[in-house]
Structure 1
């Protein structure tokens, strides 16, 4: 526990922390008033949004991988057909 001396001046960091604390309190109160208690952002809500975003990215990545595999297969098939035409005797 610290004892505050009567002649000790308030430092700039103390004022900054006080202002930041008040600003956070005002923003929190304003958010609660504007969006309502049931729609307040919480750590649980943020975590769920992150999980959903990760799942959506994984789905998009899987879809892109599937498309790339299809294109690679189509290109390989076209290459095989081209090689077959080149090796056929001209008659």
Structure 2
């Protein structure tokens, strides 16, 4: 009696993982070659960029809030002046 072992087959998933793994390796190597070792993106660098972007958005929101408050105050002052100029009926 001969027991035949099942032949390992390569599935679509295995090929996809292999291709993805090779692609990541190529991109990583290419980034090192083009950008340079010292300027490669890292998790720490990405986190710092995110913090800076959040701060910039917060500054922009604060500036917009300040402008809206300024416009609201100017509009209210203009309405008060308009009411003071109108004769009382």
1:74 matched residue in structure 2: 74
Q: Deviation at 1:8?
A: 1.6
- Return the alpha-carbon distance in structure 1 between the equivalents of residues 34 and 6 of structure 2: 42
- Return the alpha-carbon distance in structure 2 between the equivalents of residues 71 and 61 of structure 1: 15
Structure 2, gaps ≥5 residues long:
none
- 5 Å matches for 1:51-90? 51-87=51-87
- Return the alpha-carbon distance in structure 1 between the equivalents of residues 84 and 45 of structure 2: 58
Matched residue SS, 2:86: helix
User: What stretches of structure 1 move > 2 A for 4+ residues in a row?
Assistant: none
Q: Deviation at 1:88?
A: 5.8
RMSD: 1.5
Structure 1, gaps ≥5 residues long:
none
TM-score, normalised to structure 2's length?
Answer: 0.90
- Return the alpha-carbon distance in structure 2 between the equivalents of residues 41 and 75 of structure 1: 48
Deviations 1:10-43 (A, max 9, x none): 1110011001000100000000010001100000
